[in-house]
Structures are given as structure tokens and as C-alpha cells.
Structure 1
């Protein structure tokens, strides 16, 4: 028991140090962070004090409301820190190969299915990722649209025969002006109009995964993904 308590006590400073490190790192790239966190903490406290003054209730009210305001303020500050840190991290890796895969792996909600491994890639390391969610199937091109648009069209033709009644959306993350910024990719996916039920999401995902298993025309024992990657672009 004593060892477990010591281990728990040792973990707490680690978490605090980690949060401090995240704050310092994010602050270097996000000058608005300190002000936003300060407002997030001070705002609820001021509101709670005002409520205690207006509603009355004696000493109990003056204790309860400020404590509530402090807790709410700290919670909001942590939420802001997390979101701003995530946004800053994505800005730093934006434009690098595999950046979209990092978003797919870590930022998508449970209602989405996908892999950080692209379904197609060319020699310039442009890639196409595929995710499935309530908004249907989404093909995400990573790189200049001039190159990824053709790759997405090829992938769309490949999966369309098994998804005749499923919405397929195309998104582009790259240097083009009308591309989706990397740090907004997760929110863009969530905002898509729902076209599938929860049970259908898993069924569609399983159908797409099954395509990896020796498609018609490819001999057994040959990796179809390797064949696809060797095709001339």
C-alpha cells in the first residue's frame, strides 16, 4: 500500500510538469494563449461572485459560488490549452508527409473509422487517406490538388462498385488556397452532413477493409498494395 501511494504521488508531479511544458511550448508559438487562459479563469469567477451577490444566501452562498467559479474557470483554461496546443502542433507538422495520418490517428472521434496509413501514395509522397463516419466515406488528399485529385479519382473508381449508395466526399489538405488547413480537418469532418447510421458506419468500413484482400485479377500471394504503389503516375 505504501509503495502504491508513493507511486501515485510520484505520478502527480509528472502530470503537472507535462502540462507546464505543454503551456510553455504552445506559448512560444501562440501569443494569445496566456490572455485567453486568464480570461477563461477570471470570467467564471467574476460571474460567480456576481451571482452570490444577487442571489444572497449568506456565508454558504459566498463560499459555494466562488469555488464553483474557480473550478469552472480552471476547466475552461485546460480545454483552451488543449485545443490551442493541438492546433499549434498541427501547424508545425502541416505540409509534412504523414501529417493527415497523424490527425486520423489521434484527433478523430470514435464515430469515425480510418487508418493513419494512406491507401495510395506517389513518388512525390503525396497521399490519399480514407475515413468512414456518419458523413459517409471521405477521401482526403495530402499534397497539391493538381497531383492528389487524380489519385483520389482513382481511389473513388476503385471503391465505388461496392459503395453504390454511399456518399463519397473529397477533401484536400495542402498548399492550395481552397484546401482545408490541417488543424481544421477534424472539425471539417465532424461538420459533414450525416448520411449513415452508426451501425452502417462499421458495415461500410468493414466492406472497404475487405478490398485489401486479393482483389479479382491479382494472383494470391501478391500484395495488392505494392502493385498499386508501383503503377506509373
Structure 2
């Protein structure tokens, strides 16, 4: 007699066995790496058409140099193979850099763009997920990050309005952190402001003054203060956050 494949078969103690037809469905896999690269490439090409030609040029130059070096050693085939691999690497590097610029170009001018720029920081920085100060009427924001350079406040909005907002937040923190450097970076395109695509680079150039232990202590101290952020309804400052994986070209 054939064995039953009914999913309602029970064990000796009356508990139900896991049958053939009641197995947990496999979780849907995310997009493949090639598909992700393709999406990044299409996004970059729309925002920056010249990126395609730069990638092709970099690939051909690297392949040509490698093949020429191989020919000097009477082994141009090996030089060609190595050149193709290095050429693809060079093209991918250019794609990642241009993709980051294209992603910033897409979100520039949107609420939360400065906070999205902080989200691209690498290790060593503790970034506050929400603005630490805001003007609900004008939708100007102040974002905060803590690193070895101290506390960095990044403003978003016209310089004439956000300067007073940042000064108020800086004075509030200076009272509880008298020996910690507090820097202010104004994000934007006006004179005296830093484009959002260059914020992370500007922060990395700041001189480190704190140890890793002190960074964690400062972050916890600031977190204990809480937030009195008056964000208006319907405003999501992080809605404009770009895909970090896309901005790294991965």
C-alpha cells in the first residue's frame, strides 16, 4: 500500500507532523547583484549621460595599456585578459562615483537631503536618525553626527534662516559638553554653504580630537537629553534618503 502524503498525518502523541504540502514557503530572494548594477547604471545614465563614455574610455585605456605591457614581454594574450579584468574594475569604480553624484542630484532640494548625506558616512560616526532641531513653518532642519572630530551640526535651508537655528542648538549642547568641539556645516548651494554631495568629505577632513570611548560617551550624553523636535505633520525628513547600496555602486 502506498504511503499517504496527506499533510494532516499525526505523530503517536497526537501532534501533527509537517507534511509535504504544509512546508514553509521559501522567502523571496532580493534582486540579483547584476540586476542591482543594471538599475544603478540606468539611474546614473539618466542623470549623467557622460558617465557612460567615461566608463568606456577607462575600460579601453586600461585594456590598451595592459595589452601593450604584455606585448613587451611577448605575452599579449595574458596582458589582454588582465586588462579586461582591470578595465571592468576601473569602469565599475567610475560608475560608483558617478552614481553617488546622480543620487545626490535626485534628492537635492528635497526635505531631508542633508540628513541623507550623513547617512553615507562610513564607520566612526554616530548619526542621529532624525533632525535635532527644526522650524515647522519653514521646514528648515538641523541634523547631528558625533565622531572623533566632535559634534557636527549640518543645517538644511537658506543660510539667513538656519544660522540662528544652528546657533541655538550649538549653545544648548555647549552647556552640557563644554570641552567637546562643535562644528556647523551649512548644506546648500548658496555662498558659504556646502553642496550635499561634499558634506561627508568635509566632515572627514575635520581634525580628530576625541577617542572612540569619548565618542560613545558624548553620543549617550546627547541621547539622554531627548528631543523637543517640532516636526510638522506630513513631513518626513528622511523620505528623501537615497539607496546607500546604489550610491556605492553595489
TMscore range, shorter length: 0.7 to 0.9
Q: 1:182 to 1:18 in 2, by over 3 A?
A: same
Matching residue of 2:237: none
Residues 185 and 193 in structure 2, CA contact (< 8 A), matched pair in contact too: yes
Paired residues of 2:43 and 2:102 also in contact (CA < 8 A): no
Gaps of 5+ in 1: 1-6, 213-223
TM-score of the pair, normalised by structure 1: 0.79
Tell me, yes or no, if the aligned pair for 1:104 and 1:116 is still in contact at 8 Å.
Answer: no
Look up the SS of the partner of 1:110 in the other structure.
coil
Name 1:161's counterpart in structure 2: 175
After TM superposition, the runs of 4+ consecutive aligned structure 1 residues lying more than 4 A away are 10-13
SS of match in other structure, 1:211? coil
1:98 counterpart residue number: 112
Deviations 1:142-191 (A, max 9, x none): 00111111111111111112222221111101242221111111111112
Counterpart mapping for 1:8-27 below 5 A: 14-27=32-45
The CA RMSD measured in Å over matched residues stands at: 2.4
Where does structure 2 lack aligned partners over 5 or more consecutive residues?
1-25, 233-250
Select the structure of larger CA radius of gyration.
Answer: 2
Q: Distance in 1 between matches of 2:143 and 2:81?
A: 46
Q: Using CA pairs below 8 Å that are at least 6 residues apart, which structure has the higher relative contact order?
A: 2
Deviations 1:40-86 (A, max 9, x none): 212221221222233x2x54xx4443322222221221121122112
**Within 5 Å, which residues of 2 pair with 1:1-233?**
14-54=32-72, 56=73, 59=75, 62-105=76-119, 107-122=120-135, 123-212=137-226, 224-225=227-228
Q: How many residues of Structure 1 are paired with residues of Structure 2 in the alignment?
A: 205
Q: Larger helix proportion, structure 1 or 2?
A: 1
